Amino acid sequence: MNPYDLVGYAASALILISMSLGNIIRLRVFNLLGAALFTVYGVLVQAWPVAVLNAIVVGVNLVHIQRLRAREDAFELLEIRSAQSDFLARFIDRNAEDIRRFFPRFDLRTIHDPVIVLILRELRPVGLFVAEREGEDTLRVHLDYVIPEYRDLKSARYFYRNWRPSLRGAVRRLIAHTDVATHRDYLRKVGFVADRAHGDGWFVRDVPADAPPLASALSPRR
């Protein structure tokens, strides 16, 4: 096989991968990489229309990625008082298969008096947080889920920066357990650290002592 063909096949693979991604930024990044390789391929085989077109595609992707990263979406947090909420059930059912990928043991019915918060992004429900009190100052996180197309960490970082669980008493620590490698990586990215005292797969995140009241971060409860 001609070595130049390998460049072309690699470019095609990256373009194909980009078309399968739900996250728009990742789609743009993979599409950019594929177009960049196609540009190189076009130069190597002196197919100038291919090289020029894909060089333009690289530029277009760079512009869109920059705009997406710079865009300031409007976020809101909405606490759901009842675990029997019809909307909550519909959200979980709609995303059940994807939720099981990261939270295979999650079952809302087994959680006593859950703390439930929806993450709204441009008024669209994109994430769901479910926790349960353990002890006087600790919440165990059972679910911390964001739908695939908004899985760029912006929603999660907004949540952990703005939500403070103080309406139900002083909460100073969040703990979570997972056996899923991608979920472990996510927990580290949003500020959790491994909790060796509990054992393998346990993570902990402290809530600042000077945290503002939960009501300042939440929209009216439904």
Summarize the confidence of residues 89-101 as an average pLDDT: 96
Q: How many domains does the chain have?
A: 2
Same domain, 46 and 117: no
pLDDT at 86 over 80: yes
pLDDT at 35 over 60: yes
Same domain, 151 and 182: yes
Helix 48-70 with 24-44: angle, nearest 10 deg: 160
**Those residues with Cβ within 8 angstroms of residue 145's Cβ, 6 or more apart along the chain or in another chain:** 95, 98, 99, 102, 103, 127, 128, 129
Same domain, 90 and 51: no
This prediction has a pTM of: 0.69
Q: DSSP character for 169?
A: S
Same domain, 190 and 96: yes
pLDDT tens for residues 108-165? Answer: 999 999 999 999 998 999 999 999 998 888 999 999 999 998 888 889 989 988 886 5
> In the numeric block, which tokens belong to residue 26?
């990742």
What CATH number corresponds to the domain at position 106?
A: 3.40.630.30
Exposed (0-12), middle (13-18) or buried (19+): which is 88, by Cβ within 10 Å?
buried
Same domain, 24 and 98: no
Same domain, 141 and 58: no
Domain that holds residue 32: 3-70
pLDDT at 23 over 80: no
